[in-house]
Amino acid sequence: MAEVRLSGLSKMFGTTAALDNIDLTVPDGSFVVLLGPTGAGKTTILRMVSGLDTPDNGDVYIGGKPMAGLTPAQRDVTMVFQQYSLYPHMNVRQNLEFPLKSPLLRTPQAEIDRKVNEVAEILQISHKLDNKATALSGGEMQRVSIGRALVRNPSVYLMDEPLSSLDAKLRSDLRIELKNIQANSGATLIYVTHDQVEAMTMATHVGVLDHGRLVQFGTPRQIYEDPVSIYAASRLGQPRINVVPADLFGGAPTAARSIGLRPEHILQGEGEDSTVNRVEHLGDQTRLHLDYKGHDLITVTDPHTELQRGDRLPIRPNNPLYFDASGARLA
Amino acid sequence: MSFSVTQPTSRQKWFAGILVIGYALLTILPLLWIIATGFKSPSDAIAYPPKVVFEPTLEGYVNLFTTRTRLSPEALSEAGAPQTWYDRIVRQYGMVISGPSRYGERFLNSVIIGFGSTFLSIFLGTLAAYGFSRFRVPLKDDLMFFILSTRMMPPIAVAIPIFLMFRQLGLSDTHLGMILLYTAVNLSLSVWLLKGFIDEIPIEYEEAALIDGYTRFQAFYKVVLPQAATGIASTAIFCLIFSWNEYAFAVLLTSGTAQTAPPFIPTIIGVGKDWPAVAAGATLFLVPVMVFTVLLRKHLLRGITFGAVRK
C-alpha cells in the first residue's frame, strides 16, 4: 500500500561500508526479496526502512513521504526479526495482541480477538495461544513472531529470514501463505533470505546486494536469465551456475574470460565427451557431476537416467552467458 | 560400584546435607540467641552458665515499648489493681507504665528512610543503568568508573564534611536528609548491578516494541522493566539491607525526629541493663527485611545466579 524509495542511502559501521549509495524503488504492492551473502547489507536496509537505524547519507521515502526523523512507530511498518524476539514475559496471545494494543492503534478488544484468532489459525498456533512465549519450539516462536507482524495492516512489511528455522514442510506451507497474504492485502513486502527457492517462488522483484552495493534489481526471471555479473548469476539457480574459462569451448567472444553455464545451457548428447563423476537422484530430477577436460560441471538430467559413474556423455554449450575479466556480463 | 559424574552417591548426599545443615545452624545460632533473649527475664538473660531452657516472658517486649516509673509501695497500692497483662508484668518490679517508649517512632523512621531511599536508589539507578546500557553516552566507561569510585572509600570517611553540609542545608535530623544520604551511597551499587541486568536483556525486544507502535519510553516500561524485575528485586534487597542496618551516619546525623532504630536500640540498655528489651528491639527490627527478602526470594535466587544460567 505504499511505495518504498531509497535514495543515495549510505551507512558506515566503523570503517566498513554497510550500505554504499543505494538507490532502489520498491513498487507499491510488490514482494521484493533481497539476496546476498552475510554482510551484504540486506538486514541494514530493513533497519533503515523501519527506522531502527538512521542512514549516514541519503533518504528513505515511504509512500512518497520522507522518513527522516520519524520513529519506527510513526512509519507504519512492521518487521519480523531474524532472531524471533518474542516478549518472554508474555504468553503467545499477549505477544500477538501487543501491536494491536499500541497507543497508535488502540484496537477494540473484539477486533483484537478476531485478528489474533485468524492469524493463529493461518500460522497453525491456535492451540498454543495460552502457552508462555518461552515454552515454544524454535519454529513455533518464529511463527508467533510472523504472526505479530500479520495482525496489523501496515503499509510495508519487513521480514528478515522469517522462515529460516522452520522445517521443510512448514516452510513451504508458510511460503504460500505469506505470498497469499501479501497478494490479497496488496501490501509492500521487503524480504531478506538466503533461500533461492523462496526468492524464486515469492518475489515479484529481486535485489542482489554485494558489500553494501545494489548490483542488480529486477524480476527473478531477469536475474536468472539475464544477470549482470557472475556474482548476480550465482545468487539464483539450483544447482548453481557453472563458471569455467571461456576458451574451454570454442566460439566465445574475444573479450570473454569466463563462461557461465546453467544446467539448461548444457546440451547433452552432442559435442565433446565428458565423464560422469557422480549421479545424484533427487526424485524429481537427477544431478550429474561431470568432468569436462579437467573442469567440474554440474547439470541436471532425466530423473530416470540410466547413466552411471564413469560413463561418457558428450556435451556442448547452448546459449551460455559470457563474462569479462571483472566478472561483468558481456551482451 | 557404578560410578557417575553427574549423580552423587547417597553417601555424598548425606555428607553434603549434614554440611549444609551444620553451616546453617552455625550462622543462624546468634540470631536464635537474640530471639530467645527477647523472651527471657532480665536475670535469666545474664545468668551464668547461660540458660538454654527458661521460662518465657514478654517482659522484654513490654519494656521495649513502654517507659515506666518506680512508685513507693503506698503509691503503688493507691494505684489500684493492675488493669492489663502488661501492667501486671511491671508491677512485679514495683513500677507502673507511664507512657509509650520511642521505639515505635524510631522503627517508623527506619521504615520511611529505609524504603524511601531504596525506592529512590532503584528509581534513579534503573534510569541511569538503562541510559548507560542503551545509549551512546560520551565518556561512558569513565563515568561508570567514576560512579563505582564513590564506593571505594568507606562512606564514613567523609562524615565530617557531610555533617557540616547537612547542618548548613538544614538536612540534619530530617527524613529527607537521611533518604538522600543513603540513596547517594547506594546509587553506585544500584547503577552497576542494574546495568549488568539490563545489558543482558537483548535489545531486539525493545526494537520489536518500537516497530509494534510504542515509543521508547513505553518500550522501556512495557518490555524492559518486566524483564529487569529480577535484577530490580535483588538490587532492592541489597539497597534496603544497607540503609536499614546503617549505624554510623544515623548516630552522627540523627538525634530526634529522624533517628532510625539502629542507634536507638542500644540506648535502651542505659535504662537498667535491660538486655531482653534490646534483644526484643533487635528481633522486631529483623522482621521487615526478612519479609521483604522472603517476598522477593524467587527473584533473589535468580538474581544471584544471573548470567551463570543460560535462559
Q: Where are the domains of chain A?
A: 4-234, 239-330
**pLDDT over 90 (residue A190):** yes
The position carrying cell 570517611 is B157
B49 touches chain A (CB under 8 A): no
- The verdict on a CB contact (< 8 Å) between B214 and A50 is no
Task: Note the pLDDT of residue B76.
Answer: 80
Where b means 16+ CB within 10 Å and e means fewer, A159-170 reads: bbbbbebbeeeb
How far separated are the first and last CA of chain B, in Å rounded? Answer: 36
Q: Does residue B218 sit at the A interface (CB-CB below 8 Å)?
A: yes
Q: Please report where in the chains the cell 551516619 appears, as a residue.
A: B249
Task: Give kind and range of the element (H or E) at residue A92.
Answer: helix A92-97
Q: What percent of chain A has pLDDT over 90?
A: 30
Question: Would you call A85 and B215 a contact, using CB atoms and an 8 Å cutoff?
Answer: no
Q: Residue B309: what pLDDT? A: 37
Question: What are A255-288's pLDDT values in tens digits?
Answer: 888 999 998 888 888 888 889 999 999 888 899 9
Is A314 an interface residue toward B (CB < 8 Å)? no
In angstroms, the separation between the Cα of residue A168 and the nearest Cα of chain B is 26
- Peptide bond just before A239 cis, omega within 30 deg: yes
**pLDDT mean over A61-90:** 87
Cell, residue B120: 529512590
Task: Give the pLDDT mean for B133-155.
Answer: 90
A52–B227 CB contact, under 8 Å: no
Residue in A closest to B227 by C-alpha: A89
In a mutagenesis test of the A interface, which of B207, B211, B225 is the best target, namely the one with the most A β-carbons within 10 Å?
B211
Cβ count within 10 A of residue B14 = 11
C-alpha A269/C-alpha A4 separation (Å) is 48
Q: Which chain A residue lies closest to B212 (C-alpha atoms)? A: A99
Task: Tell me the β-bridge partners of A279.
Answer: A288
Task: Spell out which residues of chain A touch residue B218, defining contact as CB-CB under 8 Å.
Answer: 103
To the nearest whole Å, the CA of B205 is away from the closest chain A CA by: 6
Summarize pLDDT for B234-269 with one digit per residue, the tens: 899 999 999 999 999 999 999 888 999 999 988 888
- The contacts of residue B245 (CB under 8 Å, 6+ apart) are B262
Cα–Cα–Cα angle for B47, B50, B52, rounded to 5 degrees: 120
Is B204 close to A88, i.e. CB distance below 8 A?
no
User: Which CATH number fits the domain A239-330, given the four candidates 2.40.10.10, 2.40.50.140, 3.40.50.300, 3.90.550.10?
Assistant: 2.40.50.140
* Dihedral (CA of B251, B257, B258, B261) sign: positive
Cβ pair B211:A89 closer than 8 A = no
What's the burial of B54, exposed, middle or buried (CB within 10 Å: 0-12/13-18/19+)?
A: middle
Written as one string, the DSSP assignment of A145-184 is HHHHHHTS--SEEEEESTTTTS-HHHHHHHHHHHHHHHHH
- Name the class of domain B104-304: mainly alpha
Cis check: omega of the bond before B49, within 30 degrees of 0: yes
| Any B CB within 8 A of A73 CB | yes
Do B212 and A85 lie within an 8 Å CB cutoff?
Answer: no
pLDDT of residue B4: 63
Distance of alpha carbon A56 from alpha carbon A46, whole angstroms: 15
Q: Tell if the CB–CB gap between B208 and A85 is shorter than 8 Å.
A: yes
Which residue of B214, B227, B311 is in closest CB contact with A73? B214
Measured between beta carbons, the chain A residues lying within 8 angstroms of B211 are 50, 52, 72-73, 77-79
pLDDT in tens, B118-142: 999 999 999 999 999 999 889 999 9
- Kindly determine whether residue A73 and residue B208, on different chains, have CB atoms separated by under 8 Å: no
**CA-to-CA distance for A137 and A271, rounded, in angstroms?**
53
**pLDDT tens-digit series, residues B55-90:** 898 988 988 898 888 888 888 877 777 888 888 888
Locate the chain A residue with the closest alpha carbon to B204.
A85
For the CA atoms of B222, B226, B231, B232, the dihedral, rounded to the nearest 10 degrees, stands at 70
Cβ atoms of A62 and A144 closer than 8 Å: no
Give pLDDT tens digits for A162-184: 888 788 888 888 888 888 888 88
Per-residue model confidence (pLDDT) at position B310: 37
Q: Stretch B285-294: mean pLDDT, rounded?
A: 90
B24 pLDDT above the threshold of 70: yes
A-facing residues of B in 237-256 (CB < 8 A) are none
Nearest by Cα to B163 from B175, B176, B152, B173: B173
pTM as predicted: 0.79
Q: What 3-state DSSP class applies to A313?
A: strand
- Percent of chain A residues past pLDDT 70, beyond the cut: 99
Percent of chain B at pLDDT exceeding 70: 94
* pLDDT at res. B35: 93
Least confident of A9-18, A39-48, A266-275, B3-12: B3-12
All residues of chain B having their beta carbon less than 8 Å from the beta carbon of residue A152 are: 213
> Is A134 in Cβ contact with B311 (below 8 Å)?
yes
Highest mean pLDDT among A147-156, A312-321, B122-131: B122-131
CA contacts within 13 A on the Cβ side of B73: 0
- B202 at interface of A, judged by CB pairs closer than 8 A: yes
Q: Per the CB < 8 Å rule, is B210 touching A104?
A: no
A62: Cα within 13 Å, side-chain hemisphere: 26
Q: A96 pLDDT band (50/70/90 cuts)?
A: very high
Domain A4-234 - what CATH class?
A: alpha beta
Q: Establish if B212 touches chain A: CB-CB under 8 angstroms.
A: yes
- Report chain A residues whose CB lies below 8 A from the CB of B208: 79, 81, 85, 87, 148
Structure confidence at residue A218 (pLDDT): 93
Q: Which residues of A touch B207 (CB under 8 A)?
A: 52, 72, 81, 85
CB contact under 8 Å between A102 and B214, yes or no, is: yes
Asked if the model's pLDDT at residue B298 lies above 80, the reply is no
Chain-chain contact of B208 with A52 (C-beta, under 8 angstroms): no
Q: Does the pLDDT of residue B229 top 90, yes or no?
A: no
B20-29, B109-118, B202-211: least confident range? B202-211
What's the rounded mean pLDDT across residues A144-170?
87
**Distance, CA of B16 to CA of B13 (rounded, Å):** 5
Give the closest of B212, B216, B227 to A102, CB-based.
Answer: B212
* First-to-final CA distance of chain A: 36
pLDDT of residue B308: 40
> Which of B211, B226, B311 is opposite residue A79, by nearest beta carbon?
B211
Residue of A nearest to B207 (CA): A52
Residue A23 banded pLDDT, cuts 50, 70, 90: very high
DSSP H or E run through B185: helix B175-199
Contact flag A83-B202 (C-beta cutoff 8 Å) = yes
| pLDDT the model gives residue B303 | 55
Q: What is the pLDDT of residues B159-186, one digit of tens each?
A: 999 999 999 999 999 999 999 999 999 9
pLDDT reported for residue B126:
96
